[in-house]
Amino acid sequence: MNTTKYQVLVACIKAQEQEHKKCKSVIKELKAKSNGIKVVNASEPREPKRRGRPSGGPATITKRPYRSHRPGTMPSLSGT
């Protein structure tokens, strides 16, 4: 990494004057420039990946463990 802590600090302060969200993207751009990598959509914050089911979905179905209709019998052992 060629970027110094001072460079990152200056970039962060400059970004905070305009908008706080831009701080990370400015640092990302600086890091990418020092690495020689092209920055793709650094100004746009990437939306986080949502884990699990979408909100508003039926929670009871996903949380309920699988049970066969007859208690005490495993579906895989029903043939024997």
Question: What residues contact 52, with CB distance under 8 A and at least 6 apart?
Answer: 62
> Could you list the residue range(s) of the whole structural domain that residue 16 is in?
1-36
How far apart are alpha carbons 38 and 36 in whole angstroms?
A: 7
pTM beyond cutoff 0.85? no
Burial class (CB in 10 A: 0-12, 13-18, 19+), 3: middle
How far apart are alpha carbons 67 and 74 in whole angstroms?
A: 8
Domain count, the chain: 1
Q: How confident is the model at residue 74 (pLDDT cuts 50, 70, 90)?
A: low
Q: How confident is the model at residue 14 (pLDDT cuts 50, 70, 90)?
A: confident
Asked whether residue 78 is assigned to any structural domain, the reply reads no
